[in-house]
Amino acid sequence: MALPRKKFVAGNWKMNMTSSEVAPYLEVFRQETYQINNVDLAIIPPFTALAKASEILGGTQRIRLGAQNMSPEAKGAYTGEISATMLRDLFVRYVLVGHSERRRLFGETDELVHRKVITALKSELRPILCIGETLEERQAGQEKEVLEAQLQVALHGLTPEELEEIIIAYEPVWAIGTGLTATPEQAQEAHQFIRGFLKTSAGPEIAGKTRILYGGSVTAENAGELLSQEDIDGALVGGASLDPRSFAEIAASVTAE
């Protein structure tokens, strides 16, 4: 019998919070989550705040660091880019890959997302692979087709060992920063489809181990019902993670039976 998947909650601060705001945030968040031990916690600050967060956390295993983006290149003349090596130097453990805002606002393609996944894995960073459909695609009944296409390209050619390192985040684009949220039934249906894809393409063992997060206007008010669904293993939280107490409430709701 497979072991239950450990829940995971990550807070994506996006382009918010300065280096000077990290210490007071973490002081509150650590205190509020002191008794939460059965869920993996991560914060994903902007690049300028990573060094300060790394200094404060000191490599702790209880709250890990993630990065919001990463270059697919190892080093070189790529002005404005951040490499996996730079992230590892700050004890970053996770990296967002293919976030809907990177795809929509900065033109990131499925092929580029795949390259970033490969680079992250080679550098011993765990990719949080973000996938999701637009409102138009959902209204046209194409959401499963879109999810399958994104997964096929992003995960192409990966070994079972590499697949085990990947966390998937389902984030319906129409629910990112809009205040709209997928119903628990809609979210569960999408997560079940993703796990079914993994079962078919990689086998039941990988499908059973892979953690699939929900992201899309998650709040302390709606987290409990969303994250109680069978195939939802945690949350990628945006705006609500900017308040350490609200973010801690979400983490607590994940662990509630």
Instruction: Please state the rounded mean pLDDT for residues 188-198.
Output: 98
In sequence order, which residues have a C-beta less than 8 Å from that of residue 52 and are 6 or more positions away? 19, 20, 22, 23
Average pLDDT score over the chain: 94
pLDDT bucket at 176, cuts 50 / 70 / 90: confident
The radius of gyration of the chain from alpha carbons, rounded to an integer in Å, stands at: 17
Higher-pLDDT residue of 103, 59: 103
Residue 256: the pLDDT is 61
Active site residue 162: no
**pLDDT digits 0-9 by tens, 104-148:** 999 999 999 999 999 999 999 999 999 999 989 998 999 999 999
pLDDT at 254: 78
- Please report, rounded to a whole number, the percentage of residues in the chain having pLDDT higher than 70: 98
pLDDT of residue 150: 98
Give yes or no for residue 2 having a pLDDT over 60: no
The average pLDDT across 65-87 equals 98
- The full DSSP string for 19-51 is HHHHHHHHHHHHHHTTT--SEEEEEE--HHHHH
Q: What is the pLDDT of residues 16-63, one digit of tens each?
A: 999 999 999 999 999 999 999 889 999 999 999 999 999 999 877 789
As a whole number of angstroms, the distance between CA 21 and CA 18 comes to: 5
**Locate tokens 């987290």: which residue?**
223
Select which of 99, 101, 108, 249 is catalytic: 99
pLDDT at 154 over 50: yes
User: d(Cα 140, Cα 85) in Å, to the nearest integer?
Assistant: 41
Which element (helix H / strand E) includes 70? none
CATH number for the domain running over 7-255? 3.20.20.70
**Amino acid letter, residue 76:** G
pLDDT at residue 1 in the model: 44
Residue 114 among the catalytic residues? no
Catalytic residue among 133, 171, 191, 249: 171
pTM, whole model, 2 decimals? 0.95
Asked whether 162 and 121 are in contact (CB, 8 A), the reply is: yes
Give the model's pLDDT for residue 181: 77
